[in-house]
Chain A
Amino acid sequence: MVVRLSRRPLSVASAEARLARSPGGASVVFAGRVRADLRHGSRVVALDYEVDLGPALRQLRRIERTARRRFRTVDLVLWHRLGRVAVGEVAVVAGASCAHRAEAFRAARYLIDELKATVPIWKEERGRPLRRPRRRPARRGGRTAG
């Protein structure tokens, strides 16, 4: 499927395999994964992705049509996860197969940039508070030089 919004894990290998079957000579696949960012004393452990499904699918197909026309893309994939996505998991895959590498890079860049800017998908961070380092008990009498 060229465009996909899925609650199941995304396979980068499947995206690469699909593009490898196309007659284009160059393919580029971008995969975005969830990072373990630090935020206000907690570490991100997952992102919850939310979507307005109808407008999102329509916009993904519009991006697909534009990419095919503008970059003479032979084939492409534009996939996004929904629901809870853990750190390290793939949240988005944008890939393009074209006749030459320059178009393939430009097309993949266009796909991910347009998705982020124009597709109604939102993320909410889920974090885990950071552990404070344990304090060592104070030594009696202290340490002296000499």
Chain B
Amino acid sequence: MVRAVRVRLFATARLAVGRATLDWPVAESGVSARELVAALGAAYPRLAPTLRVSRFLRNDRYLSDLTTRLRAGDEFAVHPPYGGG
């Protein structure tokens, strides 16, 4: 069984990667949100500019601190700037 964080991508983040979700494998000890953001930017260079202006959520809750650890089974959402209305 793959131990992974489910990454959910919206709007320009989804367009940059070409898909709405990614399963990102993580070690037993997990990964910090900051480490995951850096790894995503390195794996998908077109995503990097969007990551710099995005907000992030863990299990539907906004992260105010990117030192938060993510573990297998967590969801991590990337929210580019909002554009409703």
Report A80-99 CB contacts with B as 1/0, cut-off 8 Å.
10000000000110000000
Interface residues on A, range: 20 to 34
A130 CB to closest chain B CB (Å) equals 23
Asked if B84 and A116 sit within 8 Å, CB to CB, the answer is yes
B3 CB within 8 Å of chain A: no
Q: Contact check, B85 vs A116: say whether CB atoms are below 8 A apart.
A: yes
B interface residue count range (under 10 / 10 to 19 / 20 to 34 / 35 or more): 10 to 19
Scan A53-93; emit 1 where CB is below 8 A from any B CB, else 0. Answer: 01100100000000000000000000010000000000110
> Chain A CB within 10 Å — which of B62, B79, B84 has the most?
B84
Is B39 on the interface with A (CB-CB < 8 A)? no
User: A80–B57 contact, CB under 8 A?
Assistant: no
Interface-side segment among A13-21, A117-125, A137-145: A117-125
Interface string of B8-27 (1 = CB under 8 A from A): 10111000000000000000
Q: Which of A113-137 contact B (CB under 8 A)?
A: 115-124
Residues of B within 8 A of A58 (CB): 60
Residue of B nearest to A82 (CB): B84
Residues of B contacting A117 in the complex (Cβ-Cβ under 8 angstroms): 82
State whether A123 and B83 are in contact (beta carbons under 8 Å apart), knowing that A50-B10, A50-B11, A52-B8 are contacts in the complex: yes
Q: Within the assembled complex, what's the spacing in Å between the Cα atoms of A119 and B84?
A: 7
Q: Is B77 located at the chain interface by the 8 A CB criterion?
A: yes
CB-based contact A124/B11 at 8 Å: yes
- Residues of B59-85 at the interface with A, using a CB-CB cut-off of 8 Å, are 60, 62, 77, 79-80, 82-85
- Which B residues lie within 8 Å of A112 (CB)? 85
On whether the beta carbons of A54 and B60 are closer than 8 Å, the reply is yes
> B residues within 8 A CB of A52?
8, 10, 57, 60, 77, 79
| Chain B residues within 8 Å of A, Cβ to Cβ | 8, 10-12, 57, 60, 62, 77, 79-80, 82-85
- Which residues of A are in contact with B by a Cβ distance under 8 Å? 32, 49-50, 52, 54-55, 58, 80, 91-92, 112, 115-124
